[in-house]
Amino acid sequence: MKKAFLTGVTGQDGSYLAELLLNKGYEVHGLIRRSSTFNTDRIDHLYRDVHESGAKLFLHYGDLSVSGQLMDLLHSISPQEIYHLGAQSHVRVSFDMPEYTADITGLGTLRILEAIRKIGLKTKFYQASSSEMFGAAPPPQSEKTIFQPRSPYAAAKVYAYHIAQNYRDAYGIFAVNGILFNHESPRRGETFVTRKITRAATQIKLGLKDKLYLGNLEAKRDWGFAGDFVEAMWLMLQQEKPDDFVIATGETHSVREFAEKVFAKLNLDYNKHVVIDPRYFRPTEVDVLLGDADKAKKTLGWKPKINFNELIDMMVTADLELAKKEKTLVDAGFPCTNSQRII
């Protein structure tokens, strides 16, 4: 039985990837942070108590800022595959927390690579690189495009990308960079724009709120489905040689278009509810991302299965169900959750 170690297992991608690996018969070990509230919602459906027979998902406390413990964990687990997904992943937040973002999103990668090197672990390593690294580079962006990062988050990811390549070249570690364009799902964090829109619009539909405050509506993104994208991560680690791949749908849409489609699907007038709030503008913006995933198609045989409209349908349907549950609680006198977010 193959063993995989995932950082970021409690995140959107970590949950889909854990599902995929468990279905393939892997034993999955995930790094989780201690939190005063539960932070395992996305993987609770996968977890079986370790005292029960047949448990294949094991969770370990740790943090990407603590190298010694990462080394101990990797030494004792000795996984054949490591998927490094953990990060401070919010671009807007990275302007508020640049040092923390550099430490976790940038140096976190180095800490794992150093652990692999020092232990002498024979393992394959996946680095969650990002289309944000392309920044101001004109579209379409491919593996050959020069990075022009536009945020502390993107700069940290560029460092992590290069250090993964350096450990591949210098020490022969099987390290790959998956340069993934935006990917979304019903499990997407609620402060990323797609989910913020589907959550608010479905709550508006049920009378739980009236306004949705957004920033730059003209930014364009190449949005895919997270479930499709984690398959590409796995495929990259099944190759004979380590290499870097862009993963994208090859279509780009504006934030405005996404929001208009969501409101239209719910028979709501977008103009009545969407308000621009400059607090959501970024000091430097990435205007257009549009990926060319031709290399992944040819080498990995990967292509997305879910298109833009299907993604919106999936997210709206899931959030409508959630809003209905919230309405039941509100009708029973409980306060509506999710009303107070800073970003």
Nearest distance in Å: CB 11, ligand NAP: 2
Residue 280 contact, options ligand NAP, ligand F7E, none, Cβ 5-8 Å cut-off depending on partner type? ligand F7E
Nearest distance in Å: CB 331, ligand NAP: 30
CB 176 within 8 A of CB 242: yes
Chain centroid to CA 183: 7
Which residue has the CB atom at the shortest distance from ligand F7E?
Answer: 219
Peptide bond into 140 cis (omega under 30): yes
Nearest distance in Å: CB 65, ligand NAP: 6
Residue 80: name the closest of 120, 119, 122, 117 by CA: 122
Consecutive H or E run containing 77: helix 67-77
- Segment interacting with ligand NAP, rule: CB under 6 A, options 164-172, 178-186, 278-286, 323-331: 178-186
Q: Regarding beta strands 183-184 and 174-180, do their DSSP bridges make them parallel or antiparallel, or are they unpaired?
A: unpaired
d(CA 39, CA 52): 22
Please name the residue that has the structure tokens 């029973």. 332
- Secondary structure of residue 331 in the 3-state scheme: helix
The token pair that represents 343 in the structure block:
């970003």
d(CA 121, CA 75): 8
- Segment interacting with ligand F7E, rule: CB under 6 A, options 18-26, 36-44, 277-285, 300-308: 277-285
192: contact with ligand F7E by CB under 6 A: yes
DSSP character at residue 141: B
d(CA 63, CA 69): 8
Nearest distance in Å: CB 248, ligand NAP: 10
293: contact with ligand F7E by CB under 6 A: no
- Mask of contacts with ligand NAP, 115-134, x by CB under 6 A? -------------x-x----
- Mask of contacts with ligand F7E, 96-135, x by CB under 6 A? ----------------------------------xxx---
Query: Is residue 207 left, alpha or beta, with left meaning phi > 0 and alpha meaning psi from -120 to 50?
Result: left
> Hey, which residues between 236 and 265 contact ligand NAP (CB under 6 A)?
none
Amino acid identity for residue 311 in this structure: L
Question: Phi/psi of residue 340, each to 5°?
Answer: -115, 100
Consecutive H or E run containing 6: strand 3-7
Nearest distance in Å: CB 181, ligand F7E: 6
Catalytic annotation on 153? yes
- Mask of contacts with ligand F7E, 197-226, x by CB under 6 A? -----------------xxx--x-x-----
The token pair that represents 268 in the structure block:
């709501």
- The single residue of 130, 131, 151, 185 carrying the catalytic annotation is 130
255: contact with ligand F7E by CB under 6 A: yes
> Hey, which residues between 15 and 54 contact ligand F7E (CB under 6 A)?
none
Q: Would you tell me which residues interact with ligand F7E (CB under 6 A)?
A: 89, 91-92, 130-132, 181-182, 191-193, 196, 214-216, 219, 221, 255, 280, 282, 285
- Which positions lie near ligand NAP, rule CB under 6 A? 7-8, 10-14, 31, 33, 35, 39, 63-65, 85-89, 104, 128, 130, 180, 182-183, 189
Catalytic positions: 130, 132, 153
